[in-house]
A and B are shown apart, each in its own frame.
Chain A
Amino acid sequence: MTIQEFKTVCSTLEQEYIAKISAAADLNALEELRVAALGRKGALTELLKNLKDFSIEDKKVAGPLGNALKAALTAALDDKTTALSAAQLNEELNRVQIDLTLPARPTAQGKRHPLSIAQKRMTDILSKLGFTWAEGPWVEDEKHNFDMLNIPLHHPARDAQDTFFAQTGSPLSMVLRTHTSNVQSRFMEKHQPPIRIMAPGRVFRNDSLDATHSPVFHQIEGLYIDKNVSMADLKRDLTAFMKGLLGDKTEIRFRPSFFPFTEPSAEVDVKCVFCAGKGCNVCKGTGWIEMLGSGVVHPNVLKNCGIDPEKYSGYAFGMGVERLAMMMMNIKDIRTFYENDLRVLNQF
């Protein structure tokens, strides 16, 4: 064989096997081709046997040619092997049949109580608005629950609260706190302004248990005391709070009201979120929903807590958690919260 003939055979073999490899139908056919081309008695081995008869110069040409042919065929075989195994795997996968529409396997998660969910929404927003969490006792003395908050003894405002009285060994007359406002007097007594706190928690009223009343319910209180705090600061912060709670389009309005611990006092309404203020069942056609009570902290309250009302001023607001939860979660009866019926609890 001449070197010319060797070159021609190389080129012919390459064309022939590349075409065969490319056309191989499966991995078995491919293996046969590998043996036929590169095996001990394969075409390439046979061809390379001619090398021993070549001159040194011819060997220098023929050797690399033979190696290149081997590399090309090996690469082609590897590529084809990868492609064919992928195809074979896909074929197997495509034979899989399971019913994907069967129900999801339930995870073993429990749920938070709707009142916790509502309260957490509120505390999260207030927290973003810079209010820190403060706590106070639930069994409270009358001084912190009433007197310091400008609700004097023998005043009808005090009677209106339907107070539970607790029997303890304390020399002070103890009550179950009737509002979260006791945290105001507790906190201001110990801290000078600036003060910016929220106080969520349980409160107690000696009310009958019916669809709209419960002797135990939840409030959340906000208090901000600093220099030159006004009703306008209150309106700004409550607008932000309500937008956080009910959405960016929420509007609020102030209505005059009376609370012993604020002066001026304002009832805060939000534009009905169910009808955008057009009037519906929830807002009883008025377009507005009563949301919370608020006002400028009464100078007597500041004075009682050791804060100079000539130097500092502030606002306070208080809101019912049940009220919000009932409205937003479509719960018609306040007792629902305290029955803990799993059929209800697992909806939230």
Chain B
Amino acid sequence: MKILYSWLKDFIDLDFTPEELAQQFTKLGIEVASLEKKGADFEGVNVAQIIQIDNHPDSDHLHLVTLDLGGGKTQRVVCGAPNVAVGQKVPLARVGARLGKVVLTPAKIRGVVSEGMICSSDELGLTNTRARGILVLDEKIPLGTDVRSLYGKSDALFDLEITSNRPDLLSHYGVARELGVLLNKPVKLPAIKEMKGQGPSLKVEVKDSAACPRYSGRMICGVKNAESPELIKERLSAMGLNPKNALIDVTNYVMFELGQPMHAFDRNLIDGDTIVVRRAVKDEKFTLLDERELTLDENALLIGDSQKATALAGIMGGKNSGIADNTTDIFLESAYFDAPTINKTSKKYGVSSDSSQRFERGADIGMTLTALHRASELLVAACGGTPSEIVDVYPVAFENPVVSFTPAQINGILGTQIEEEKLKDIFGRLALKFTAGADTWAFQAPTHRRDLNHRWDLAEEAARFAGFDQIPAGTSRAFVSFTDNPKGVDLMERCAEKLCALGFYECKNIDFLGEKELKAFGFDPKNTVKIKNAMAQGWDYLRPTLLPALLKNIEFNQRHGQNNTALFETTRTFSLTKGFPTETYTVAGVLCGTLPAQPFFAPNGQKPDFYFIKGAVADLLDGFEAVQLIPSEKAPVYMHPKICMDIVIAGKKAGVLGALHPLTLRTAGLKTNEVWAFELALKPLEKLFNAQLFTPAKAVAAFPPSLRDLSVVLDKTISYAQIKTVLEKTALPVHLHFDLIDVYEGEHVPQGKKSVTFTLAFSAPERTLKDKETEDAFNTLVGQLKEKLGAELR
């Protein structure tokens, strides 16, 4: 809401500077978005013309400028502006002139005395930003003219951010009223000359009094539309409106002044003699003033006559009844419409106006007649004409509820100790009716404060007007209980810490993706949460996978010269389960290029392979039982068909790891064709995770193991997993630990075969093994490997 300082002063005496007033607003909780000072705050500055420019004897950028002051007088001053030129008419401030709070005195500039200065626009206070040179005036302005007369008197324009609970502050009178309570100063309405009406008005029939609790109006006949008076034009311009003509301008002026939206109809475009306030019929067509055509439903509230609709109530007038330059008779509407009704219609049809913005927040039902009188007065003064009698349909007089409370309750909410006298004083100033009984107090708000319904609302008012700095920091109180973090949160944190330790960098991405990416990653749009009002194409769905965004991050970094990227993200992913949204804590990582980049120590880095990403996943899952990594029978479309494993938790697939499909990478615009990746849903781990669990230590072997190397040659197609199973499953009378140390294929083994080498460690818990025991165990294993896998000792 734009507030003009001079307009405020119509209602209340204020002697603050604009900056001081801004501080008062802040104190009240009204944010000042901007403060723009207007007009001339200077004296003794006159128009002069530059007739000669000489160089300053001691400077290469300063000039000695001679000016014609008119009446045969000249003056020489020092000037450093880059844009100075002979012939310009400029504002000249001579010694004794006042610029803001500064009075000009002679100044010695590099040895030359200057008895005045040519001013820039910011030196005159006309702009807030620094001007680049002197202000050059129109050459037609006569010499000697007082520059003040060109810019009008000083003023200030505040742009206030009015919160949606305070529609009463959407007018100058409303803001003055608020300041009046704060400063304990009287606030007066403009002296309105109430004109007695002559002759009957149009009749008004309100068919829905819930949507329109009050409708006031009158006709003014015999007007001659004209230009508005200067003051109205100036003030409306300051509000950001283009003045049109008096009939329209006055309704706007009264709205900015008193907060009451008004509408003027051309009486002669109204059929019959009754204004009807009604709901639209289904599919009723209506054309707005701005020529937009609407098809309405039964919720829209209309103003109409016997034949047609003439206005979308409280929002905008119709094209068929608007004011024209030749309008002679008008009907002036000053009504109160129900806030949700207006909000619903305004939002549904995307039509908003200064009027609808006030009604949807809640106008003042007690203001309609005052505004009608004010508008009548201003209109008749500008356009002549005769007002009719007033019609005022107001079946149930509105009253705010009476709030009963005790001063102790107010102080209890705030944690303050504001004295009762002070509270009485504040509530007395605010209330329509206020009584302070011995036990309870009773407060009733005036009609313009519908937001004061509970003692909590009154507590806020008490704090605002007493000052929020009255609220102390309370003394300590203890409330101790223990609730663990949600498991998913702890799991995500655990994953993040582990992945960082492995060299991965954490990313955060926006949760949206498009149908193309969705399909490329094998997801069915039908099972994905779609955003109805997506802000951009490609951002239509909530992502069911974190991988597409991580690929974008690789692509971004490749474009910016970072080819080695190890990235991860852990957050929620989304899907639909039987139509209902499901959110799953997920972690995903991608690895591209070498790891880590070490320009001096390892210029080529270390090239990670599949087993690195497998190690990362194993590390994430370390400590969890019931977790398996199994080669995928059928890899998802975005993964390499042969380099992909399922992460299986408690028998169910919870994720994948492996190489991304080169086509996936190409589609994502990557320069590489090898990216290692994993993605894992954390939900299955939640059941297995216990933040309170300490891991019990196992006893360390007290006796040294007997070590043997085992090298076997077997078919290339036999997997490590198969060999491992044999080693693990073979029953031995001693304990066995084994480490794989080599897998070899090549000239030293037959074609189609490979050699696999282990270090075996045999041990017993309570003694050192005899050679024979070790030998027997070794031979048992060799026998089993031969029997189960056809392995030969190498």
Interface residues of A (CB under 8 A from B): 102-103, 105-106, 108-113, 115-116, 130, 132-135, 137-139, 152-157, 159-160, 164-170, 174, 176, 194, 196, 202, 204, 206-208, 214-216, 224, 226, 228, 230-236, 239, 253-258, 260, 263-267, 296, 298-299, 313, 337-343, 345-346
Contact = CB atoms under 8 A, between A and B. Distances in A.
Given A156-B357, A230-B414, A345-B506, 15 more contacts: A113-B508, A130-B478, A138-B572, A139-B581, A154-B341, A164-B535, A169-B579, A202-B571, A230-B415, A234-B415, A235-B472, A236-B474, A267-B29, A339-B556, A340-B508
Contacts of A169: 576, 578-580
B496 A236 contact: no
B51 interface: no
Interface in B502-551: 502-512, 529-535, 539, 542
Contact of B486 (A133, A156, A231): A133
A194 B479 contact: yes
A168 B576 contact: yes
Interface of B: 26-29, 163-166, 339-341, 343-344, 347, 357, 360-361, 412-416, 454, 456-457, 459-460, 463-464, 468-469, 471-486, 488-489, 496, 499-512, 529-535, 539, 542, 553, 556-557, 560, 562, 565-568, 571-572, 574, 576, 578-581, 583, 595-596, 598, 600-601
B504 A110 contact: yes
Nearest to B341: A154
Contacts of B596: 106, 108
A254 B469 contact: yes
B660 to A, nearest CB: 18
B456 A253 contact: no
A130 B343 CA distance: 42
A132 B483 contact: yes
B509 to A, nearest CB: 6
A282 B471 CA distance: 27
Given A298-B456, A337-B508, A342 B562 contact: yes
A257 B472 contact: no
Contacts, number: 254
Nearest to A288: B26
Contacts of A168: 529, 576, 579-581
A214 B459 CA distance: 35
Contacts of B531: 164-167, 176
Contacts of A338: 508-510
A216 B535 CA distance: 12
B511 A216 contact: yes
Contacts of B360: 154-156
A340 B509 contact: yes
A235 B488 contact: no
B500 A110 contact: yes
B14 to A, nearest CB: 20
Given A154-B340, A214-B510, A313-B413, A226 B502 contact: no
22 contacts: A108-B596, A130-B479, A130-B480, A137-B581, A139-B581, A159-B347, A160-B164, A166-B542, A168-B529, A176-B542, A230-B413, A231-B416, A231-B471, A233-B415, A235-B415, A235-B471, A254-B469, A264-B456, A264-B459, A313-B413, A340-B508, A341-B562
Given A166-B581, A264-B463, A111 B505 contact: yes
Contacts of B574: 138-139
A155 B343 contact: yes
Contacts of A260: 165
A174 B533 CA distance: 12
| Residue with the highest number of chain B CB atoms closer than 10 Å, among A156, A216, A298 | A156
A113 B456 contact: no
B274 to A, nearest CB: 29
